[in-house]
A and B are shown apart, each in its own frame.
Chain A
Amino acid sequence: MKRRNPWISITVWTAISFLTLFPIYWLFVISVKPAVDLFSTPELLLKSFYWDNYTEVLNNPTLRGYMLNSLIISSCNAVLVTILGFLACYALTRFELAGKESIFFWTITNRMAPPAVFLLPLFLLFTQVYRIGDFSLADTKLGMILVYCTFNLPFAIWTLRPTLDAIPRELDEAALVDGATPWKVISHIVFPLARPGIAVTLILTWVFAWNEYLLAATLTNFNARTLTTGLSEYVTTTGTAWGVMATISVFTLIPALIVFSLVQRHIVAGLTFGAVKG
Chain B
Amino acid sequence: MHSKKLGWLLLSPTLLILGLFGVFPFLYVLWVSFHEWNPFAANPAKLFNWAENYRKLVFDSQFLASLGVTFAFAVFAVGSEILLGYFLAQAFLKDFPGKAFFRTIHTLPLIMAPIIVGSVWKLMATPSIGVIPYILKHTVGFDLNIGTSAVAAFTITVIMDIWHWTPLVTLTMIAALVSLPPDPFEQAQIDGAGKRQIFWHITLPMIRPALIATVFIRLMDAIRTVDEVLMLTGGGPGSATRYVGVHIYKEVFPRTNYGYGSAVSIVVLYLTIVICWLLYVGLIAPRVRKV
Q: State yes or no: do A and B touch (Cβ within 8 Å).
A: yes
Could you list which residues of chain A lie within 8 angstroms of chain B, going by C-beta atoms?
1, 4, 6, 9-10, 12-14, 16-17, 19-21, 23-24, 26-27, 30, 38-39, 41-42, 84-85, 87-88, 90-92, 94-97, 101, 103-105, 107, 109-110, 112-125, 129-130, 146-147, 149-150, 153-154, 157, 173, 176, 182, 207, 210-214, 218, 228, 231-232, 235, 242, 245-246, 249, 252-253, 256-257, 260, 264, 267-268, 271-273, 275-278
B21 close to A146 (CB less than 8 A): yes
Contact A120 B113 (CB under 8 A): no
Alpha-carbon separation in the docked complex, A228 to B231 (Å): 11
Q: Is the interface of A mostly helix, strand, loop or mixed?
A: helix
Cβ–Cβ contact B226 & A116, under 8 A: yes
Q: What are 24 sample pairs from A and B whose C-beta atoms fall under 8 A apart? A: A13-B96, A23-B117, A26-B124, A27-B119, A42-B131, A88-B10, A91-B7, A91-B11, A114-B272, A118-B265, A119-B265, A121-B28, A124-B32, A125-B24, A125-B28, A130-B20, A211-B112, A214-B245, A231-B231, A235-B231, A249-B116, A256-B112, A260-B108, A277-B175
A150 to B230, CA, bound (A): 22
A10 lies within 8 A of B97 (CB): yes
Contact of B147 with A by CB under 8 A: no
Residues of B within 8 A of A109 (CB): 273
With A20-B108, A114-B224 as contacts: A120 and B265 at CB distance below 8 Å: yes
Q: Are A120 and B163 in contact (CB under 8 A)?
A: no
Given A20-B108, A120-B258, residue A276 in contact with residue B175 (CB < 8 A) = yes
Choose from A9, A117, A130, A267 the contact partner of B91 (Cβ within 8 Å).
A9
Report the separation of the CA atoms of residues A97 and B2 in the bound assembly, to the nearest whole angstrom: 11
Nearest Cβ in chain A — how far from B188, in angstroms?
14
Seed contacts A88-B15, A213-B115, A267-B111; 7 additional CB < 8 Å A-B pairs: A26-B123, A91-B8, A95-B2, A116-B246, A118-B25, A146-B21, A176-B2
B288's nearest neighbour on chain A, judged by CB, is: A275
In the assembled complex, the CB of B120 is this many whole angstroms from the nearest CB of chain A, namely: 5
Contact with A along B225-259 (1 / 0, CB 8 A): 01100110000000000001110110011000010
Complex CA distance for A87 and B21, rounded to whole angstroms: 19
Task: Tell yes or no: B202 within 8 A of A by CB.
Answer: no
At the interface with chain A, which of B55-63, B148-156, B209-217?
Answer: B209-217
When the two chains form their complex, are residues A256 and B113 in contact, meaning their CB atoms are under 8 A apart? yes
Q: Which of A120, A153, A276 contacts B172 (CB 8 A)?
A: A276
Contacts of A242 in B (CB 8 A): 123, 129
Shortest Cβ distance from B94 into A: residue: A9
Contact A213–B227 (Cβ < 8 Å): yes
B14 touches A129 (CB 8 A): no
Which chain A residues lie closer than 8 Å to B15 at the CB level?
Answer: 88, 103
Kindly identify which residue among B25, B97, B119, B120 contacts A122, using a CB–CB cutoff of 8 Å.
B25
In the bound complex, how far is the Cα of B100 from the Cα of A10, in angstroms?
Answer: 12
B269 to A24, Cβ gap below 8 A? no
Docked CA distance A257–B116 (Å): 12
In the complex, which of the residues B22, B24, B98 has the most CB atoms of chain A within 10 Å of its own CB atom? B22
How far does the Cβ of A62 sit from chain B's closest Cβ, in whole Å?
Answer: 18
Are B248 and A94 touching (Cβ within 8 A)?
Answer: no
Complex: A142 Cα to B206 Cα, angstroms? 47
Known contacts A95-B2, A268-B171, A276 near B248 by CB under 8 Å? no
Within 8 A of A (CB), among B123-141: 123-124, 128-129, 131, 134
The docked-state distance in angstroms from the alpha carbon of A86 to that of B261 is 36
Selected contact of A110 from candidates B22, B117, B123, CB within 8 Å: B22
| B175/A116 in contact, CB under 8 A | no
The answer to whether B107 touches A267 (Cβ under 8 A) is yes
B283 near A: Cβ within 8 Å? Answer: no
Max count, chain B CB within 10 A of own CB: residue among A24, A97, A113, A147: A113
Cα distance A105–B291 when bound, in Å?
8
Asked, given contacts A96-B4, A110-B18, A129-B28, whether A252 binds B175 with beta carbons under 8 Å apart, the answer is no
Q: Contacts of B249 on A, CB cut-off 8 Å? A: 116, 119, 214, 218
Quote the shortest CB–CB distance from B243 to chain A (angstroms): 9
**Bound CA–CA A150/B128 (angstroms):** 41
Pairwise interchain contact B123-A268, C-beta atoms closer than 8 A: no
Interface residues of B in 69-90 (CB under 8 A from A): 88
**Whole-angstrom CA separation of A69 from B276 in the bound complex:** 35
Option from B115, B129, B220 in Cβ contact (under 8 Å) with A232: B115
- A38 touching B105 by the CB < 8 A rule? no
Complex CA distance for A105 and B277, rounded to whole angstroms: 12
Known: A39-B128, A39-B129. A153 touches B227 (CB 8 A): no
A23-B120, A125-B24 known; A276 vs B214 contact (CB < 8 Å): yes
Question: Which residues from chain B contact A116 at a C-beta distance below 8 Å?
Answer: 224, 226, 244-246, 248-249, 265, 268
**Contacting A231 at CB < 8 Å: which of B119, B261, B265?**
B119
B198 at interface, CB cutoff 8 A? no
Please tell me if the beta carbons of B96 and A275 are within 8 angstroms of each other in the complex: no
